[in-house]
Amino acid sequence: MVVLGQSGTGKSYLIKEIAKSFKKNNEKSSGVQVTATTGIASVNVGGGGGTIHSWSGIGDGRYSNETLLHKLENSDHYEVYKHNIKSTQCLIIDEISMLSSKLFEQVEYICRHILDKSLIFGGIQVIVVGDFFQLPPVPDQLKLDSGEHCFRSPIFKQLFKHKFILTNVMRQNQEDFVKAINDISRGELPEDTHNMIKSLSRKLPPGDDPIRLCARNFDCEMYNSCKLIDMEGGEFEFNAVDEGNNSKLERLPVPKHLHLKLGCPVMLLKNLNANLVNGLRGVVTSISTETVTVNFKNTNLKVTQVEIKKEMFTVYSSVESKVIASRKQFPLCLAFSITIHKSQGLTLDRAVVDASCIFAPGQLGVAIGRVRGKKVCK
Ligand X SMILES: Nc1ncnc2c1ncn2[C@@H]1O[C@H](COP(=O)(O)OP(=O)(O)OP(=O)(O)O)[C@@H](O)[C@H]1O
Chain residues that interact with ligand X, rule: CB under 6 A:
5, 7-13, 131, 170-171, 345, 347, 369
Q: CA–CA separation, 301 vs 296, rounded Å?
A: 8
C-beta of 45: minimal distance to ligand X in Å? 8
Q: CA–CA separation, 80 vs 56, rounded Å?
A: 9
- Nearer of residues 56 and 185 to ligand X, judged by Cβ: 185
- Nearer of residues 325 and 366 to ligand X, judged by Cβ: 366
C-beta of 343: minimal distance to ligand X in Å? 9
**Contact 271/50 with Cβ under 8 angstroms?**
yes
- Nearer of residues 331 and 362 to ligand X, judged by Cβ: 362
C-beta of 14: minimal distance to ligand X in Å? 7
- Nearer of residues 13 and 151 to ligand X, judged by Cβ: 13
- Nearer of residues 39 and 255 to ligand X, judged by Cβ: 39
Q: Which residue is nearest to ligand X (CB)?
A: 10
C-beta of 349: minimal distance to ligand X in Å? 11
C-beta of 250: minimal distance to ligand X in Å? 30
C-beta of 346: minimal distance to ligand X in Å? 8
Backbone angles phi, psi at 286, to 5 degrees: -155, 155
C-beta of 72: minimal distance to ligand X in Å? 30
Torsion of CA 334, 136, 33, 41, to 10 degrees: 30
User: What is the 3-state composition of the chain as percent helix, strand, coil, each rounded to the nearest 5?
Assistant: 35, 25, 40
The DSSP line for 58-84 is -TTS-S-HHHHHHHHHH-GGGHHHHHH
Query: Do the strands 305-309 and 291-295 form a parallel or antiparallel pair, or are they unpaired?
Result: antiparallel
Q: Which residues pair with 251 in a beta bridge?
A: none
C-beta of 43: minimal distance to ligand X in Å? 12
- Nearer of residues 7 and 54 to ligand X, judged by Cβ: 7
Cβ atoms within 10 Å of 224's Cβ, excluding its own: 24
- Nearer of residues 5 and 122 to ligand X, judged by Cβ: 5
Torsion of CA 94, 98, 103, 108, to 10 degrees: 30
- Nearer of residues 155 and 170 to ligand X, judged by Cβ: 170
Task: Single out the residue of 231, 225, 164 nearest to residue 2, CA to CA.
Answer: 164
Beta-sheet strand order (sheet of 90-94): 32-36, 90-94, 125-130, 2-5, 163-166
Q: CA–CA separation, 185 vs 189, rounded Å?
A: 10
